[in-house]
Amino acid sequence: MIDETWTGLVADGGESFPILKSTTQFEGKVWTIRTDVLDFDGRVIERDIVVHPGAVAVLAIDAQDRVLLIRQYRHPLGMYIFEPPAGLLDVAGEPPLVTAQRELAEESGYQADSWHTLVDFLNSPGGSSEAIRVYLARELHQLAGGRPQTGEAEEAFLPRVWVELDEAKNLVLSGAVSGPTAVAGILAAWAARENGWVNLRSCDEPWLMRSALLNANRVPLNFNKKDLA
């Protein structure tokens, strides 16, 4: 009987298996689907993966501990969902924090004076390389001219709502709100507040997972690597 007990460090990472051949099956506007043939400990296998640019989201909380959520249509689901402001890392050379600050302004009309790294997660690691970082934004103030009308279609009209953090946590646990950035961000913020906000990471915290994905060719090649450490 094989002993499957892990005795090492509990942290994501480790070596990858050699890719013998990689074939692009689809190349879209945002992500690519490819088939990799790899040597998995002497066994040749095939795996389809979605090569994704990654994304950021912003869990914005006001002075009353209310969370900002926007209602947005998501075509793959065929419905509207409530989620924090978010956006793809689709501007070459733009640091993730700058992307987050821009998305908060564009999707909500707010800016923040206080920024922290709240939580990092891999959205669908069984089939996609999408890595997401959720920032915590506080000390909020509205833009003088309101939300800039920069989006189209799904982003042209983004109704927002302020939800008290305890209520937002209950909405997640009840299944009423189930988008990944909302679930991860709200639960992480609730836990951080319970701990007195003392263990928050810097907004400039190195994003080691995204750097590893870039180095492993798991991010589209048209995106710049220079400022993602």
By annotation, the residues acting in catalysis are: 155
Residue with tokens 């994501």: 12
The whole-angstrom separation of Cα 151 and Cα 227 is 26
Is residue 175 left, alpha or beta, with left meaning phi > 0 and alpha meaning psi from -120 to 50?
Answer: left
The whole-angstrom separation of Cα 134 and Cα 55 is 9
The whole-angstrom separation of Cα 73 and Cα 11 is 35
